[in-house]
Structure 1
Amino acid sequence: DLQNFLNLVVAIQSIWLYVHACLCNSMKNRKPQNFPPGPTCYPFLGNIFSLDATQLHLQLTKMSDNYGNIFSLRLGGTDCVVINTYTKVKEALVDQADTFSGRPPNEVFKKINKCQGISANNGYSWKQQRRFILSTLKNFGVGKRNLECSIKEEFNFLYQTIMNTEGKPFDAHYLINNAVSNIICSLVFGKRFEYTDKRFLNMLNLMSKGLKLQGSLWTQLYNSFPNLMELFPGPHKDMVSYFKQLCNFLNEEIKNHRAEWNPSSPRDFIDCYLSEIEKVCRKNDPEAGFHEQGLCDVLLDLFVAGTETTSTTLLWSFIYMMKYPEIQEKVQAEIDRVIGSLRQPCMADRPNMPYTDAVIHEIQRMANILPLNLPRFTSKNTTLGGYFIPKGTQIIPNLTSVLFDETQWKSPHSFNPQNFLNLQGEFVKPNAFLPFSAGKRACPGESLARMELFLFFTSFFQVFTLSPPVGTKTSLEYEFGITLSPKPFKMTARPRGQSSSQCEGVSASQ
């Protein structure tokens, strides 16, 4: 009858439209000759739903067994190339640094900060912002003794707060986040925040939740189909809201600084940036990106990067020391021998503490907190490992494959400080140790992070012994996001073989 005929016509038209759309999609996304191989992908979606968002770093490392150390994926309509192993990652990020130093277009960052700041920025503006950040932070003490004193002073506050737990199990997450964040806050805002400051604790919570969502399937779907995803509620909108609230917090700090700003006497990074805005304005150089919105974008990058990576590494250090108490004892023995109990550790102690230095580096390697790095973008046509990679290709440098490369490490898959020690017990750093990435996009805060890790770690284990709560076992389970963070855990911190008053004497010393 007529109705059946109309239904048949509609079905035929639908099939024709689908086939036509698939053909158009195939033509549009046709891979160039000699492009890296990869798994079969679905029309429009690519490989998005073939990937495990809970352990993507392990899946991509495993996929190299089938497709080689350089292979391709399609995420929505975007072709990506995944690079595995130290040799290939170095060849891309270091040997071809100029070609692989771009950041790909990112719809999430466009929504948050229009891809400004330094993490998602490109070109002239990125170079000018990075140059200013490095020089200004250096002027305010990064890598110098006065910042070392600030870290030791912050540990004093941390020590007193932990002592208040009276040996009872506690969750160190936001306590450590706050302590580490106070170091970058002292440089950027010229002040620290109390561990009981609810407004600041809320900002740290928003940051942690936002970073977890950044590595989720929702974020990839938003980056691939932004217009479509705008029509639906979901975690992708929560994530944007979290970072918008962080920006509101930062803009309030900028407003307060502007009201009290004295160009002749800069107090911190914000004051220096305000002066740079005036300087660039006189030069009529708007492309450099120095304006108040640019300041907020840079502060967001500094606040997030200066807090999350180091605090997450310290949390992993607590887990590994509880998991391997015999290694914790060896660290404490070296601390006792080199430093003693009458003064706090200092950076000058590090060359004399090869075992502790090796343990810290092994924690960084095993923690693998930036498992897939941040994506890169090719600025021109190039070849890598014999494959052709066209300009504008998104690159995923798989740092997991580097930090666990079986050709580079003595014990790649187990926690072993010997990975960083030679036969004489001297500290040696293998070339494949790249937790801060490499090339022109290497972390600008690496020297600050290294100082914080050494001083917080040695100060902590000088005065405390860590153990899991009675009746529990230490877990190495993680939550996958932009960073690889440990699942929530509790720990017990017991003062080391001395009375509380003696501990306080150590903590209060220089």
Structure 2
Amino acid sequence: MHLQYLQISKKYGPVCTVYFGSRPTIVVTGYQALKEVFTDYGDTFLNRGSMPVFDRLFKFEGLSFSNGDTWRQLRQFTMQTLRDFGMGRKSLEDPILEEAHHIVKHFRSLKEEPFEPSTTLTCASSNIIAKILTGTRFGYNDKEWMEILRKSHKAFHIISSVWGQLYDLFPTIMNCLPGPHRNIFTLLAPLEDELMKTIKLHQETLDPACPRDYIDCFLIRMRQEEKNVGVKTPFTVINLKASIYDMFLGGTESTAVTVNYGYLILIKHPELQEKIHEEIDQVIGQAREPRGEDRSQMPYMNALVHEIQRYSDIFPLGFARATSRDITFHGYNIPKGTNVFPMLTTALRDPAHFETPGEFNIKHFLDENDKFKKNNAFLPFAAGKRACIAESLVRLQLFLFFTITLQKFTLKSMVDPKDLDISPTESGIENVPPARKIIFIPRTIEGGA
């Protein structure tokens, strides 16, 4: 649908109304208008809008799908707790690097056999989130957990398909009709059940003097809030489950899909790997592991990661906002409570900010001296008070995953790169990359592997 919205915006401008079934929705396009929504008028567009699939999943509970004081308290608590467990700090590098080493070990074990990596990458991404939220790690051979992740990924595939888009347009009707959309909630149920089991186990083993992870910190806050008799609090088991459910789904899916897309781009453009290999060998070599601080010395890798995020355009529509008050915006009177879709794809592909917006071009993030350059229209995490809470984690994870993979391997396509199609198989709320097998060839450097 987002391609249709783009056509509408070309005719009617950066702010126009589209009816999602019977729901009038303001579609906002282009970097300048998005900036106004996210920052200039950020408080007015701060509420989460209606998205029927996610409304049914989260029931307006938890970190990302609540509003008002509930959202403010949950976000403030979550940001502080994540910082306490290393978010934005050097200490967070260690669990990411540990997971990256598991990926390398797994790819080496394939012995150059073609391999479709999406499920492994999903498990690896989930382990980073799980370490912080639940204090656990899952092996790539854990059949039960891998099946849960496979079903969750399939659910996102359906959400992004025509069936999922029809559900968002006509939820009441689609609830009564047969079709793949009815499987979305069944496929996601095992993850929800697993998270509830984890919460109950934490409740039984909680030591308030020694919190192990995010769940423990939340449970301790719940006990503290129980003392305030008669005061409504967002710190409930329902909001805990919804918050970690949301962070698992969003953090795992987005990062895994971005890495998967990045691998496809690298085998589609093997010349990129040559330049990256040269930079890695000069800055890091093979004797040590990469660190976040290496980014400043690796402009080509930094630019590559940014361009992969821009081009893969994982969530083209963004997530719905809603106006918190009546506002006159771009000359239009928008009532309080109106749904607003800030289309992230139109910032990431804004021709005023990217020279070749429809093509993969690493020079979008390199200046004339081949130094890394920022671009204000780079908004894969949105911006403002509702921006992705784990942005620093995702940025670090992507840099380290790509760097250590290319430090150890050359990625090769099974077909001639010019014949390789990496176009999304579904493009709705998420751009879903195609399933392609990749050959991971261990690099042999003079003096050792």
| Category of TM-score, reference length = shorter chain | over 0.9
Aligned residues, how many? 447
CA distance in 2, matches of 1:277, 1:162: 43
In the alignment, does 2:296 pair up with 1:351?
Answer: yes
Name the SS for the 2:238 alignment partner: helix
Q: 2:441 aligns with which of 466, 472, 494?
A: 494
Shift of 1:216: 4.1
Q: 1:484 aligns with which of 421, 431, 440?
A: 431
CA distance in 1, matches of 2:303, 2:168: 39
CA distance in 2, matches of 1:71, 1:475: 34
Shift of 1:226: 4.3
Shift of 1:481: 3.6
* TM-score normalised according to structure 2 size: 0.95
Cross-structure match for 1:45: none
Shift of 1:92: 1.6
What does residue range 120-199 of structure 1 map to in structure 2 within 5 Å?
Answer: 120-199=65-144
Cross-structure match for 1:58: 3
Name the SS for the 2:60 alignment partner: coil
Shift of 1:483: 1.8
CA distance in 1, matches of 2:55, 2:125: 28
In the alignment, does 2:196 pair up with 1:251?
Answer: yes
Shift of 1:367: 0.5
After superposition, the C-alpha distances for 1:257-290 in whole angstroms (9 at most, x for unaligned) are 1221111111111111110111122124764321
User: What amino acid is aligned across from residue 477 of structure 1 in structure 2?
Assistant: S
In the alignment, does 2:402 pair up with 1:461?
Answer: no
CA distance in 1, matches of 2:396, 2:147: 26
User: What amino acid is aligned across from residue 485 of structure 1 in structure 2?
Assistant: V
Identity of aligned residues (%): 38
Cross-structure match for 2:261: 316
What does residue range 93-492 of structure 1 map to in structure 2 within 5 Å?
Answer: 93-223=38-168, 225-284=170-229, 287-470=232-415, 473-478=419-424, 479-492=426-439
**Alignment check: 8 A CA contact 1:92 1:384 kept:** no
After superposition, the C-alpha distances for 1:420-448 in whole angstroms (9 at most, x for unaligned) are 11122221111100010112211000000
CA distance in 2, matches of 1:285, 1:328: 61
**Alignment check: 8 A CA contact 1:212 1:482 kept:** no
After superposition, the C-alpha distances for 1:349-404 in whole angstroms (9 at most, x for unaligned) are 11001111011101111000010100111111112222222212111111111111
CA distance in 1, matches of 2:201, 2:423: 42
Shift of 1:324: 1.0
- The CA RMSD measured in Å over matched residues stands at 1.8
Larger radius of gyration: 1
User: What amino acid is aligned across from residue 422 of structure 2 in structure 1?
Assistant: L
**Alignment check: 8 A CA contact 2:62 2:238 kept:** no
**Alignment check: 8 A CA contact 1:335 1:458 kept:** yes
* TM-score normalised according to structure 1 size: 0.84
After superposition, the C-alpha distances for 1:129-174 in whole angstroms (9 at most, x for unaligned) are 1111111111001122221011111111111111111011000001
What does residue range 26-105 of structure 1 map to in structure 2 within 5 Å?
Answer: 56-105=1-50
**Alignment check: 8 A CA contact 2:165 2:428 kept:** no
After superposition, the C-alpha distances for 1:294-348 in whole angstroms (9 at most, x for unaligned) are 2111110111122111111111110111111111110111011000110010011
The runs of 5 or more residues in structure 2 that have no matched partner are none
**Alignment check: 8 A CA contact 1:58 1:400 kept:** no
After superposition, the C-alpha distances for 1:226-285 in whole angstroms (9 at most, x for unaligned) are 444433333332112223322111001111112211111111111111101111221247
Shift of 1:222: 4.1
The runs of 5 or more residues in structure 1 that have no matched partner are 1-55, 504-510
**Alignment check: 8 A CA contact 1:124 1:288 kept:** no
